[in-house]
Structure 1
């Protein structure tokens, strides 16, 4: 009778390190039953929906492997959960993964954590400004001294906006109040008049934003190009993101938000052959992911290379992407 294994990242770390020194890990072979715990963010986030697609593909294509999705606050928390050995894999904003892997920015003063590695790309995730249509606000700077809501502490969305504002020379003290909470609560506060703006985003089209536009009278504002340039200059994982006119109903012109990315990360201790098999299964069936979320129509080789430029890939994922010519 087969026994299902639940990987414990730190328990396997020594084994994996030794295996990496001599080539691919022999800790898994096809047919083995194994459970991987995956930090999946909130169901309202687009990446949770995409991860449900990953789970379906992996469990169908690789008998015996189960990807267990756990709802979490998001990117930065997910990187910390992977670092602590609470999960073997995680999605998350590149902010948290870059910081933890390199020991920089949000992890300044901490030792680098090289066991957090890249696995599979997700999508670009832009953080923007949503206000009531009758607010009279036309630029981000109009919000200084007002009440704003951000994503919850521990989420990639919150970290991106907080770091972005800091690069612009803006802190919490520049607002009347700052509410950090989940997107649904943030938009409820906007509807109730308890905040003046929501600074948040995810992959386009974001269902939470579509819902607000469909059911309420809201509008989207741009960040100033000069402010976005300051952010991109200070942080290697952010950029100025153009949200094309027509992305959302009633959006008649391009708007510009803080551009970031959300990818999937994995612990070094997960066996090489298993990561190779999962990566291969997901990439070869990536057309299915478009049915889960339209952001996956932009999943391409450039996105793989963009992820690799920030944090190295796990040897199993790297082997697959090199075999198909995506990585050198």
Structure 2
């Protein structure tokens, strides 16, 4: 073998070893992807704002916010497509354990704890609607709008329909309609009478509710029947919530009992401890700015956030919480 050929092969072998070697922590966190929610929704606003806080605190880090949903974000993180994501407590727990609707354990899921935001299912119907939500959901000729399959709203609607012996397929076969779209298009379609029920989830206060109140159609909230709440709670781990009377005066005349859920920050276990430590500290130290990003985020409390662990805390987050005295 000639000296030149041997030298060239040695260079290639060295290059291969460099490429195969694990990236240093700084390189691993240079360009990250944060899976949020549907475009125009609350999660998109929240992730855009919080990612900016993180990039300010950790130099040379670029975070790209992409559409996602409470159902799909755990799988995006498990597959390495996204390194950070917004999550929902009961769905993240199901993903970590490999329980329905997930087919395998998502063992890379870690958390920074709660975002401080609780989310309530908000179902809008015309003010002239006299039927209960149970009767509405059992109707095969139902016309309803909901967000994309990646979202918790979509999954929860499927579960609610199934509980009452209905489904998307049955509705379409009977001449009903299921409109699946983004929040903006759903609101417009609802106001234009393209469908009669709008199935959403939102925080208090809710920007989406405000948009609907400002629309052309007079609508109200529909309460979740007790038997539906019990099924969602016992079978899937949903929480129960109440939209207190007076919260949205134009949409309710009394308390509205609904199913609810908690939001959490999800991260991959592959993210370096020092980065997640810095990310957690950035969120904690900027508590006063969170409400300016999204009003409901003003309720973030690191002492409570650290206790919300449907999946394990990332070691970097645990270190930040312990250092601040919130984890012993």
After TM superposition, the score normalised by the length of structure 2 is 0.82
User: Any residues of structure 2 matched to 1:127-166 within 5 Å, and which?
Assistant: 127-134=121-128, 136-143=129-136, 144-145=138-139, 146-166=142-162
Partner of 1:114 in structure 2? 107
Say yes or no: does 1:84 pair with 2:79.
yes
Q: Distance in 1 between matches of 2:130 and 2:327?
A: 45
Structure 1 residue 255 displacement after superposition: 0.7
Partner of 2:292 in structure 1? 291
Partner of 2:15 in structure 1? none
Mark the runs of 5 or more structure 2 residues left unpaired by the alignment.
1-18
Structure 1 residue 290 displacement after superposition: 0.6
Go from structure 1 to structure 2 and tell me whether the alpha carbon gap of 1:312 and 1:272 turns closer, same or farther (over 3 Å shift). Answer: same
1:47/1:262 contact within 8 Å kept = no
SS at match of 1:75: coil
Question: Deviations for 1:206-227, whole angstroms, at most 9, x for unmatched residues?
Answer: 2122111122322111111232
2:119/2:260 contact within 8 Å kept = yes
Q: Distance in 2 between matches of 1:301 and 1:163?
A: 33
Q: Distance in 1 between matches of 2:96 and 2:191?
A: 39
Go from structure 1 to structure 2 and tell me whether the alpha carbon gap of 1:43 and 1:179 turns closer, same or farther (over 3 Å shift). Answer: closer
Question: Deviations for 1:88-120, whole angstroms, at most 9, x for unmatched residues?
Answer: 11113334422322100111xx33121111124
Structure 1 residue 164 displacement after superposition: 4.4
Q: Given the alignment, which residue of 21, 25, 28 partners 1:27?
A: 25
Partner of 2:185 in structure 1? 185
User: Any residues of structure 2 matched to 1:3-18 within 5 Å, and which?
Assistant: none
Partner of 1:243 in structure 2? 243
Go from structure 1 to structure 2 and tell me whether the alpha carbon gap of 1:245 and 1:306 turns closer, same or farther (over 3 Å shift). Answer: farther
Go from structure 1 to structure 2 and tell me whether the alpha carbon gap of 1:73 and 1:215 turns closer, same or farther (over 3 Å shift). Answer: same
Q: Distance in 2 between matches of 1:138 and 1:323?
A: 54
1:118/1:266 contact within 8 Å kept = yes
Mark the runs of 5 or more structure 1 residues left unpaired by the alignment.
1-10, 17-25
Go from structure 1 to structure 2 and tell me whether the alpha carbon gap of 1:283 and 1:167 turns closer, same or farther (over 3 Å shift). Answer: farther
Q: Distance in 2 between matches of 1:219 and 1:254?
A: 12
User: Any residues of structure 2 matched to 1:303-322 within 5 Å, and which?
Assistant: 303-305=304-306, 307-308=308-309, 310-322=310-322
Partner of 1:66 in structure 2? 62
Partner of 1:98 in structure 2? 93
- Which structure's CA Rg is the greater one? 2
Moved more, 113-122 or 282-291: 113-122
Structure 1 residue 230 displacement after superposition: 2.1
Moved more, 44-53 or 162-171: 162-171
Aligned residues: 300
1:39/1:87 contact within 8 Å kept = yes
Say yes or no: does 1:204 pair with 2:182.
no
2:54/2:282 contact within 8 Å kept = yes
Partner of 1:215 in structure 2? 215
Question: Deviations for 1:169-193, whole angstroms, at most 9, x for unmatched residues?
Answer: 6544664333332222222332222
Q: Distance in 2 between matches of 1:173 and 1:321?
A: 47
